[in-house]
Amino acid sequence: MKRFPLWISAGIGLLAAAYLIFANGNGIGTGADMRWKTKLAGENETAVRLMNENKYEEALTALQIAVQDVYDHDPSLEEAKEERTLSDPVLDVPLSNMSWAYNEMGDYRNGLAAIRKALLLLPNTAEEYVNEGNALYGLNRGEEALASFDRALALDPDARYAFYGKGVIHYEAGEYAEALKDLDRYLAYEPDDMEAAEKKMFALLNAGGNDEAAAYGDALVKDYPDEYEAYRLKNEAMRASADYEAIQAFDRMVAAKFPGNPRAQELLGGLYGDYGQYDDARDYYLQLLNDNPAESSIYLALMNNESDRDDVDAALGFYRDAARADAADPELHRTMGRIYEEATDYMAAVPYYEQAIKLDPQDEEAVIGKIRSLYRAKRNIRCADYVRDAEAVRASKSDIAFYGGKCNEELGRNAEAEAYFEQAVEADPGDAEALAELAALNLTLRRDDSALDFSEKTLRLDTDNADALYVQRELQERKKPLGERVKAFFAASYMYGAQVNDEDVWLAKLDEPSITPAEIGAVIDRARLPDDPFTFAVWGEDYDAATSEDERDVDVRNEGSVVYMRIAEFGEHTDDRFLAALDAVEQPAGKTLVIDLRGNAGGLAVSANNMLDGLLPDVVMSTVLYKDGQAEPYESDASHVDFKHVYVLVDERTASASELLALGLRTYLPNATIVGRTTLGKGVGQQAFMDDEQGIAVFAVNFYWNVRERNIMGTGITPDIAVRGDALADFMKPVLGGRT
């Protein structure tokens, strides 16, 4: 979210000094008192100077010293909880300036805390309420920010930044008529503020006032004939007319008028790109580079142009040229990260975002881009670890908190996920996605009242939110007896139901209102096909065993050029541990990966697909065919880890998700080899009904899975290299170059 201008308190130090002279002239101050006030004024003046130089952290340090001096002078102020009138109006100046510094750093929570403390110390000023409004705006609390700006205007009808703040909030809410009123009031004071002029221009265009926008563009150019931004805004107004030749002529004129301004030169290239003339845009930008070989903005334009052409390699080439010219520009690295992210090569995007953050630790777009890429690449462990660090200094960013919640939720860390989603909602009360996540999480935790409350809040913001609607349906289902719910699940899910004699008769027994889990298990055993071993129910201790997960399911050994990974099962977080292990391998392209699936009876198909995603380029990894005829493809993204060779060890007990992983690797990787014996041949998957409160789970065969149209049900996977023995050494001989 773009910040608008904050109260620039350049006169605070002078105000304090003037007060000291007045006090001394009236015989009020003692010598010690005067020295203290002079010191406080000096600390404020230093902080203001540093802030005007954009050195906000240094300014904050000076202000923290000033605030502590205030508390030392009057200890009662530190614990003040209620309004009180100050005997000396300079005492709350450091707190107000501290809010300004925090807001500029994007730390709106601390900015709000500082200004709220200052507002307890009366009398209050319009500038203080503007600072409060700025902090609230940064926290996405727009309605409260509007109220603060109105308080500022009540104290000072000429509080220009209050008008600006109101205009920005109305603009971002799509309330363009209201935005224009407030922006016009602000521009009456600051007509040359091109940032505000830009907001007004887009408010006019978004409101359909194309003629008014054109007139405003003409007026800007007339009033500021030497200001490039005025011409750029007129360009925006002209584009609404779609008169290509007129815009082209205007852009050529602007380029000639501002020969030393690369942005002015780039306008015409942007016009070509807008009309899909990417070759013309490329040629034009390359011509510009002849005259401006070190101008990073032209490289950025070229990178974006090649990205629009879906040519990531060309964009990367221009990035390398740009980095040689100006490697210190964070936008350059952030842009390359975005290009890779848009190409779904998420792990390739991460180091570019990291470089941008290294150059500018406050680059919030880069921070969010890194977190988002890690989450989309399913690197939930790395995502959670990084968010924990990033969140501490950027707690007001709802995107950071939201993705922090998502990756912790994927890891089963419900308490951490809940805290992050709550933080996202606190930062942005209109975040329907975060509210829906809280609804689903409370449903999982069986907090039905809270789940209902969050789902209703979500639906007030987004009436079609699928997650919130699902939560409400599930809450209604929970009110039904256990047997009735199992019956509905089994009838809808069991693939072979039509082949079972008297299925309805058996399922009718589930209508008993007091049926026990053991009795449900007996019914399921009779309602399935006799030769279907994959449909069953578990309860009691068996339920506890079935729903627990062995965190040692991924055993990794690095033995020189061979990386050995033993996968014992495909649990809910096996993929997280596997992907973390992949990322820990140094220089994988020169190493051999061995995945040992012997004796692995399978587990979650989604876990196997996520593991495939880490090793495969962008392909359709597998396709799930459900009972109702629906087909769901699992697609990998472009991000993947390459190894010199991949060996998969299997035996006759390798089944289900293990077979999915093995078959997917052999199908899509030319350097993948399956070693061992023919696998079990389970090409079906189960849907599960689970009730933690009753301690029962019902697994019903619900779908077939294919890899490139192939299903291995009943046939298994024949290895490329057969092995007779059972020892690991027997299976490793082909890997190490020996004979079996």
pLDDT tens across 609-621, in order? 999 999 999 999 9
Q: Are 643 and 538 contained in the same domain? A: no
Q: CB under 8 Å to 543, separation ≥6 — which residues?
A: 517, 695, 696, 697
Q: Are 487 and 528 contained in the same domain? A: yes
pLDDT tens across 498-557, in order? 999 888 899 999 999 899 999 999 999 999 999 999 999 999 999 998 888 878 889 999
Q: Return the CATH number at 634.
A: 3.90.226.10
Helix (H) or strand (E) holding 634: strand 631-635
Structure tokens at 286: 């390359």
Q: Give the chain's largest Cα–Cα span.
A: 105
Rounded distance between C-alpha atoms, residue 604 and residue 622, angstroms: 14
User: Poorest-confidence range of 8-22, 71-85, 615-629, 656-670?
Assistant: 8-22
Amino acid at 646: V
Instruction: Specify whether the CB–CB gap between 336 and 315 falls below 8 A.
Output: yes
Mean pLDDT of the region 657-675: 97
Q: Are 532 and 587 contained in the same domain? A: no
SS3 content of the chain, % helix, strand, coil (to 5): 60, 10, 30
Rounded distance between C-alpha atoms, residue 591 and residue 10, angstroms: 61
Rounded distance between C-alpha atoms, residue 495 and residue 492, angstroms: 8
Helix (H) or strand (E) holding 423: helix 414-427
pLDDT at 28 over 50: no
Report the pLDDT value the prediction gives residue 14, as an integer from 0 to 100. 26
Rounded distance between C-alpha atoms, residue 30 and residue 683, angstroms: 90
Report the pLDDT value the prediction gives residue 738, as an integer from 0 to 100. 56
Number of domains composing the chain: 2
User: Poorest-confidence range of 11-25, 220-234, 397-411, 711-725?
Assistant: 11-25
Q: CB under 8 Å to 676, separation ≥6 — which residues?
A: 598, 649, 650, 651, 654, 719, 721, 722, 723, 731
Which of 70-84, 277-291, 340-354 ranks highest by mean pLDDT? 340-354
Q: Are 711 and 614 contained in the same domain? A: yes
Residue 566, domain member (yes or no)? yes
Residue 583, domain member (yes or no)? yes
pLDDT at 645 over 70: yes
Q: Are 656 and 527 contained in the same domain? A: no
Report the pLDDT value the prediction gives residue 44, as an integer from 0 to 100. 85
Tell me whether residue 422 is exposed, middle or buried, using C-beta atoms within 10 angstroms of its C-beta: 0 to 12, 13 to 18, 19 or more.
middle
Rounded distance between C-alpha atoms, residue 455 and residue 468, angstroms: 5
Phi, psi of 698 (to 5 degrees): -120, 125
For residue 362, give the nearest of 385, 403, 336, 396 by alpha carbon.
396
**Host domain of residue 516:** 482-546
Rounded distance between C-alpha atoms, residue 584 and residue 563, angstroms: 11
Report the pLDDT value the prediction gives residue 391, as an integer from 0 to 100. 59
703: helix, strand or coil:
strand
Residue 86, domain member (yes or no)? no
Report the pLDDT value the prediction gives residue 20, as an integer from 0 to 100. 32
Q: Which of 492, 522, 546 is the last residue of a domain?
A: 546
Residue 31: count of CB within 10 angstroms of its CB: 8
Q: Are 583 and 637 contained in the same domain? A: yes
Rounded distance between C-alpha atoms, residue 140 and residue 108, angstroms: 10
Q: How confident is the model at residue 740 (pLDDT cuts 50, 70, 90)?
A: very low
Residue 653, domain member (yes or no)? yes
What's the whole-model pTM score? 0.83
Structure tokens at 303: 């990178």
Instruction: Specify whether the CB–CB gap between 431 and 443 falls below 8 A.
Output: no
Q: How confident is the model at residue 396 (pLDDT cuts 50, 70, 90)?
A: low
Residues in the chain: 740
Q: How confident is the model at residue 193 (pLDDT cuts 50, 70, 90)?
A: very high
Mean pLDDT of the region 686-711: 94
Mean pLDDT of the region 45-58: 89
pLDDT at 17 over 50: no
Mean pLDDT of the region 107-114: 91
pLDDT tens across 426-437, in order? 878 889 999 999
Mean pLDDT of the region 615-628: 94
Report the pLDDT value the prediction gives residue 72, as an integer from 0 to 100. 87
Report the pLDDT value the prediction gives residue 723, as an integer from 0 to 100. 96
Residue 11, domain member (yes or no)? no
pLDDT at 285 over 90: yes
Q: Are 591 and 509 contained in the same domain? A: no
Instruction: Specify whether the CB–CB gap between 687 and 491 falls below 8 A.
Output: no
Amino acid at 627: K
Structure tokens at 240: 């609404």
Report the pLDDT value the prediction gives residue 18, as an integer from 0 to 100. 28
Q: Are 641 and 566 contained in the same domain? A: yes
Q: Please spell the DSSP secondary structure of 530-571, one letter per residue.
A: TT-TT-EEEEHHHHHHHH---TTSEEEEEETTEEEEEE--B-
Rounded distance between C-alpha atoms, residue 164 and residue 146, angstroms: 11
Q: Are 727 and 661 contained in the same domain? A: yes
Q: Are 658 and 523 contained in the same domain? A: no
Structure tokens at 549: 């997960």
Alpha-carbon Rg for the chain, nearest whole angstrom, is: 32
pLDDT at 21 over 90: no
Buried residues in 651-685 as b, exposed as e (16+ CB within 10 A) = beebbbbbbbbbbbbbbbbeebbbbbbbbbbbbbb
C-alpha separations of 547 from 106, 691, 696 in Å? 43, 11, 10
Q: Are 540 and 581 contained in the same domain? A: no
Residue 366: count of CB within 10 angstroms of its CB: 25
pLDDT tens across 287-311, in order? 998 888 888 889 999 999 999 999 9
Rounded distance between C-alpha atoms, residue 32 and residue 34, angstroms: 5
Structure tokens at 385: 């670890």
Residue 62, domain member (yes or no)? no
Characterize the bridge pairing of strands 672-676 and 645-650. Answer: parallel
pLDDT at 470 over 50: yes
Rounded distance between C-alpha atoms, residue 582 and residue 563, angstroms: 9
263 vs 452, more confident? 452
User: Poorest-confidence range of 50-59, 192-201, 688-697?
Assistant: 50-59
Report the pLDDT value the prediction gives residue 241, as an integer from 0 to 100. 84
Rounded distance between C-alpha atoms, residue 286 and residue 303, angstroms: 12
Q: CB under 8 Å to 244, separation ≥6 — which residues?
A: 271, 275
Instruction: Specify whether the CB–CB gap between 673 and 699 falls below 8 A.
Output: no
Q: Which of 546, 565, 584 is the last residue of a domain?
A: 546
Report the chain's mean pLDDT, rounded to a whole number.
Answer: 90
12 vs 49, more confident? 49
pLDDT tens across 321-358, in order? 999 988 899 999 999 999 999 999 999 999 999 999 99
Q: Which of 497, 528, 546 is the last residue of a domain?
A: 546
With a pLDDT cut of 90, the percent of the chain lying above it is 75
Residue 623, domain member (yes or no)? yes
Q: Are 494 and 573 contained in the same domain? A: no
Rounded distance between C-alpha atoms, residue 220 and residue 229, angstroms: 9
Q: How confident is the model at residue 27 (pLDDT cuts 50, 70, 90)?
A: very low
Residue 730, domain member (yes or no)? yes
Q: Please spell the DSSP secondary structure of 636-677, one letter per residue.
A: --S-----SEEEEEE-TT--THHHHHHHHHHHH-TTEEEEES
Mean pLDDT of the region 222-240: 96
Structure tokens at 491: 């009838």
483: helix, strand or coil:
helix
